[in-house]
Amino acid sequence: QVQLVESGGGLVQAGGSLRLSCAASGRTFSTYSMGWFRQAPGKEREFVSAINWYEDITKYADSVKGRFTISRSNAKTTVYLQMNSLKPEDTAVYYCAAATLIRTLIRGTSDYWGQGTQVTVSS
């Protein structure tokens, strides 16, 4: 099993920045790709970004390209999402995800999920 714990959510004004973190643990955590999804009220969960184990592949949803940056810690067990130029439409619960293959994340699903962290952007 893999456990994922997110942190860093909160309330920010439009144009501001937040940095989300997700720490992974578990005996079976190996060369996993990690990523972020979000779910706004009344909407389905959507893919935001993903990064593979070797950090040579990163993917972003069109809605966040140029504003969000995904990265991993040196130990590769923590993934970050730096969110700049935040907009009210970025308001959602953000979920960390981990999967053995990055294409699993890009296709909109995951092997493991975190519990979610709320991000609220005020106008």
Q: Which residue matches tokens 């456990």? A: 3
Mean pLDDT by 10 residues, the chain (123 residues): 94 98 84 96 97 95 98 91 98 97 96 97 96
Rounded Cα gap, residues 76 and 123, in angstroms: 35
Question: Cβ atoms within 10 A of the Cβ of 45, count?
Answer: 18
Rounded Cα gap, residues 26 and 18, in angstroms: 27
The answer to whether 73 and 98 are in contact (CB under 8 A) is no
- Amino acid 38: pLDDT: 98
* Beta carbons within 8 Å of 123's beta carbon, 6+ residues apart: 14, 88
pLDDT digits (tens, 9 = 90+) for 86-118: 999 999 999 999 999 999 999 999 999 999 999
